[in-house]
Amino acid sequence: MNKEEIQEWFKGLQDDICSKLEQTDRKGKFKEDLWDRPEGGGGRTRVINDGAIIEKGGVNFSAVHGPTPDKILEALKIDQADFFATGVSIVMHPHSPMVPIIHMNVRYFEMSNGVSWFGGGIDLTPHYVVDADARYFHEQLKTCCARHDESYYSQFKQWADDYFYIKHRKETRGVGGIFFDRLSANEKFSLEDRWAFVKDVGSQFAPIYTHLMSKNKALPFTDKHKQWQYLRRGRYAEFNLVWDKGTKFGLDTDGRTESILMSLPPQANWEYNHIPETGSDEQKTLDLLKKGIDW
């Protein structure tokens, strides 16, 4: 296993996910935008717009390298070294408020001083929380984690609850999922073990999300549901712009801005001090945007 093999696998993952999403959507097609990073490397941004189910989405691959920016060196508390980073990042915003937003990122980071690790995560952000969908999502992730280590799911679920948390709103972004970072080799796991896990996580995306797309795409909704969707998209944008480390890393390393901000929804609303009606479906969803729920 080396960085070239990892990079090629991520490219194949991007190809497979785009193909499966197009097959399920049946209308939308991904458009590819190839880009180069002046300091080293580049990527393939693939965006889908105005599909039958997906309103806007992106499946991005990148592999960038060069001198490590000072901000990252300071954060890692290490001396100057070159870096290499590659991965796939995905966000899907559906037309229907009954179909959830989903995000996934799987990545590899390596430095010229010998430091290397894997990171990633996958989380689900329903506009309306549906218990059955949340349970299905978490069951798939728990099964995936268990194939590699029994401690992974509980550890990475807690990490996701803490990471995908909108601190200034005191609510989780959605129903969570799993999140992990700086998974390196140690006494228990080799780097190859970590890589096997990351590949398994990446392979979960297409079957999970195409199932949720197909299950919920035909559910009826009203303008009230759409207005709530726009408000929830606003919360999603707040997290990505204020708290998301991936957004900050991309901007700090002079990544391609259009590709980094692909995760933002096509339309979002902010209403001053919006308070849902007591007992409404909207209020029930807010009540479930909490850490530590055992789905």
Q: Per residue in 163-221, pLDDT tens?
A: 999 999 999 999 999 999 999 999 999 999 999 999 999 999 999 999 999 999 999 99
Number of residues assigned to the chain: 295
Catalytic residue among 65, 93, 103, 127: 103
pLDDT of residue 81: 82
Domains, in order of start, for the chain: 3-287 (3.40.1500.10)
pTM: 0.94
Q: Report residue 74's pLDDT band, with 50, 70 and 90 as the boundaries.
A: confident
Q: Which residues of 18-54 are buried (b: 16+ CB within 10 A; e: fewer)?
A: bebbbebbeebebeeeeeebeeebbbbbbbbeebebb
Q: Could you give the C-alpha distances from 104 to 8, 91, 101, 187, 203, in angstroms and in order?
A: 18, 7, 11, 28, 11
- Distance between CA 135 and CA 250 in Å, rounded? 32
DSSP SS3 for 84: strand
Name the helix (H) or strand (E) containing 35: strand 31-36
pLDDT for res 265: 95
Q: Which of 100, 77, 107, 288 is nearest to 182 (CA)?
A: 107
Active site residue 103: yes
Phi (first) and psi of residue 42, to 5 degrees: 170, -155
Strand (E) or helix (H) holding 9:
helix 3-25
